[in-house]
Structures are given as C-alpha cells and as structure tokens.
Amino acid sequence: MNLPILDNQTESPYVVRPFRRRISRQVMVGSVPVGGNAPISVQTMTKTKTADVNATVEQIQRCQEAGVDIVRVTVNDKEAAEAIAEIVKRTTIPIVADIHFNHIFALKAIEAGVAKVRINPGNIGSRDRIKEVLTKAKERGTPIRVGVNSGSLEEDILEKHGYPTPEALFESAMRHAEIAAEFGVDDVILSVKSTDVRLMIEAYRMLAEKTDFPLHLGVTEAGTSRVGTIKSSVGIGTLLAEGIGDTIRVSLTDEPEKEVEVGKEILRSLGLTQRSVEIISCPTCGRLEVDLFKITGEIEERLKGIKKPVKIALLGCVVNGPGEASEADIGIAAGKGVGILYRKGEVVRRVKEEEIIDAVVQEVMDFVPEEQH
C-alpha cells in the first residue's frame, strides 16, 4: 500500500465526507423546522415548578443565551396548565408542553398556544382521550410528539414482548402515529427513549428504516452530568453519525443550560453545526511545564461569549506544542514558565506564564470582529 508522503506545507489529501442524513418529513415547531434536512435543533426542559412563571421564564431565557432552539415545560397540574399561557406570552422561543396522565392539560396547553405537545403513549389514556387531543391539535395546527419511554410502555405491549425491547418501543410509537394519521394529524415527531443506550439505538434505527417521521433523539434519565454526558454522547452521537435524528435533547441531573451545552457540543463534534470557540489542549503528562489546567479553564470561561468560529490551541510542552499551535487561529506552545504565542501559524511574541491567559484572550479579541464578541 502506497501512502502519500506529506511535508509540513502540504494539506491532507483526505476529505471528511459529511454524514448522509436520513430523509424525513418536515414539521414546524413554532418557527423552528424539524426534519426535512433542516439543521438539527437542540432542546432542553425546564427544571422549575411551571406554576412559578417568573422562575420558569428566567430559566428559559438563560437557556436561550446558551443557544437552545426549543424548550419543553411540564404541564402536570392545574396550576401549571393555567401558567402555560403566560409563559408562552413572555417568551420568544418555541415552548413544548410535556403531558402525562391527564389529557385535559394537553387541551389547555394547545389553547394556550404552545408550539408542540408531547404525549406519552404509556399513560395518556384511552383512544377517546387521544382523539380529543388530536382533534384540538389539528384545529390549531399544533404538532404532536409521540414520546415513547421504555419505563412506561403500554401494558399490552409490555405483556406481548415480555420486556422493553426495540420492537416494543417501535410498536408503541407506530400505534400512536397511526392513530394520529386516522384523525388527519400529519405533523408528528417520534421518540423512543430508554436509559439503555443500546436499546434506544436499535429502536431509533427501526424507526429510521421504516418511517419518514422526524425523530427526536435522547437517552432518558441519563444520570449525573458526568455519566449522563457520556451516555448521551454515545447514544445520540452514534445515531447522528448514521444520519439519523432531527432534534436532540440531552437529559442530565443538572441545570438545563448544561444540557444545551452538551447537546451543542455533540453536534459540533460531528461537524453538524458551526463551532464558535474551539479549544484544543493537550491531556498533559510529566512533560508539562506550565499550569495548563488553570490556563485552559480561564480562557474557556472568558471566551464563552464569542460567536465567530475561532480555533485555539493550548499546548503545555515542546513535543507537539509548536506544530499544533501553529495550525490553529491562535495558539500557545508553552514550556519552562513561558509561552510562544502564534496567530495563523506566525509567531507573534514570547510571553511569561502569568501573561498567557490575558495574551491569548486579547489576541482572540483582535482576531474576532467586535460585533461577534
């Protein structure tokens, strides 16, 4: 096998091909298109008591600042059902009503003007109740998400399959998608979530192969920020890399803004959305000669508001440092208490370790147009 020999001035001849997206129908969730080759949107869910309108609206606004596209809110009691209209009125982002058990709350949420209603087939109730919700949704043009969860499957499906299996999740989703079709509701999004990453991957693959519905990806009850991030990245990332998925929600036992950050980073890592600040830093080893943990942490925090894509390399020793730093937009190759600052491959100057953070931040500010700070 003849491999190409590249010198430092030659670009790699290999081109990373974009993922081939599964073709799905498009559903508008408020102003956000889901499916139909639209950009993959990021969702989260509020953690406040919905009846506390001020707290809920404030949390939604923080999620917007983090870059969320769609926000889901639980409508789980009368107080929440009464509050949802005010929440919709006071926010500028599509609000989704999350409904379990009581279909009346779904009707009230649709009347309040939510952008979508999520129903759980395992607990929404009888066919007559579903019909009421679908009829109201069709009248108002409100999309429906059939949100299947492995922990709350219908009893007959669970009895048939004996256990939550990919086939069981698929059957539940299709049953309610078919009911929606019977009543003329075409704006349907499907999800088949599980805490088991392997189970959810297989269930989504079945939906992707056999339907054209837009798919909402997620690992339900993924866990703490650390474990949940890993499980969600593996589950959601695997499917996205196969071209499956139209909108995502990372579920964490953490603030919703954190869910948004992780979701956006999953998309960025696969090249599915534009990256803003990308920091490349070495994992460190015994060769480290500066406090790279502090340097990377502070630079990341100070530059988190930058909107323009900029690649920053922060390297802590002389092995890969000069090469990596020179390939970034802005780079530092550090060693023995000093750092060499690079800009677009050119050496700018030498700085002391205690000056590295300010020097990199200032160089980025000079590199990025002021309106994108």
Contact between residue 82 and residue 291 where contact means Cβ atoms under 8 Å apart = no
Across the chain, mean pLDDT equals: 91
* 8 Å CB contact between 80 and 104: no
Task: Identify the residue whose tokens are 């007559």.
Answer: 128
Side chain identity at 368, as an amino acid letter? V
Looking at residues 277-300, what average pLDDT do you find? 89
| 202-232 pLDDT, tens digit each | 999 999 999 999 999 999 987 889 999 999 9
Taken in order of first residue, the domains within the chain and their CATH numbers are 27-269 (3.20.20.20), 277-372 (3.30.413.10)
Q: Nearest CA to 217 among 181, 184, 253, 241? A: 241
Sequence letter at residue 194: S
Q: What is the pLDDT of residue 9?
A: 40
Lowest mean pLDDT among 119-128, 187-196, 224-233: 119-128
Model confidence at 7: pLDDT above 50:
no
- Burial group, residue 31, by CB count within 10 angstroms (0-12, 13-18, 19+): exposed
Q: Which of 241, 262, 246, 248 is nearest to 220 (CA)?
A: 248
pLDDT, tens digit, 9 for 90 and up, residues 328-366: 899 999 888 899 999 998 999 999 999 999 999 999 999
Task: Read off φ and ψ for residue 313, nearest 5 degrees.
Answer: -110, 125
What backbone torsions phi and psi does residue 372 show, to the nearest 5 degrees? -110, 15
Phi-psi region of 123 (alpha: psi -120 to 50; beta: other; left: phi over 0): alpha
Length in residues, the chain: 373
Weakest-pLDDT range from 43-47, 94-98, 266-270, 313-317: 313-317
Give DSSP secondary structure letters for 248-296.
Answer: EE---SS-HHHHHHHHHHHHHHTTSS--SEEEEE----TT--S-HHHHH
How far, in Å, CA of 238 to CA of 233, rounded? 8
User: Is a pLDDT exceeding 90 seen at residue 15?
Assistant: no
Q: Are 189 and 215 in contact (CB under 8 A)?
A: yes
Inter-residue long-range contacts of 77-84, CB under 8 Å, 24+ positions, other chains counted: 77/51, 77/105, 79/50, 79/51, 80/49, 80/50, 80/51, 80/105, 81/105, 81/108, 81/109, 82/51, 82/108, 83/50, 83/51, 83/52, 83/53, 83/56, 84/50, 84/108, 84/109, 84/112, 84/114
Please give the pLDDT value at position 217. Answer: 99
144 φ/ψ angles, rounded to the nearest 5 degrees? -120, 135
**Which distant-in-sequence residues (6+ apart) come within 8 Å of 209 by Cβ?**
none
Backbone phi, psi, residue 281, to 5°:
-140, 150
Give the pLDDT confidence score for residue 288 in this predicted structure.
Answer: 85
- Give the type of residue at 108: K
pLDDT at residue 8 in the model: 42
- Note the Cα 80 to chain centre separation in Å: 25
Kindly report whether the global pTM for this prediction surpasses the value 0.75. yes
Contacts (Cβ under 8 Å, ≥6 apart) of 283? none
On the question of pLDDT at 372 being above 60, the answer is no
Relative orientation angle of helices 166-182 and 197-210, to the nearest 10 degrees: 40
Does residue 44 contact residue 260 with C-beta atoms inside 8 Å? yes
Using the predicted structure, report yes or no on whether residue 178 has a pLDDT greater than 80.
Answer: yes
Q: Which of 359, 295, 367 is nearest to 329 (CA)?
A: 367
pLDDT exceeding 90 applies to what percent of the chain?
73
Residue 141 φ then ψ, to 5° = 70, 35
Over residues 57-109, the pLDDT tens digits come to: 999 999 999 999 999 999 999 999 999 999 999 999 999 999 998 999 999 99
Task: Label the pairing between strands 247-249 and 41-45.
Answer: parallel
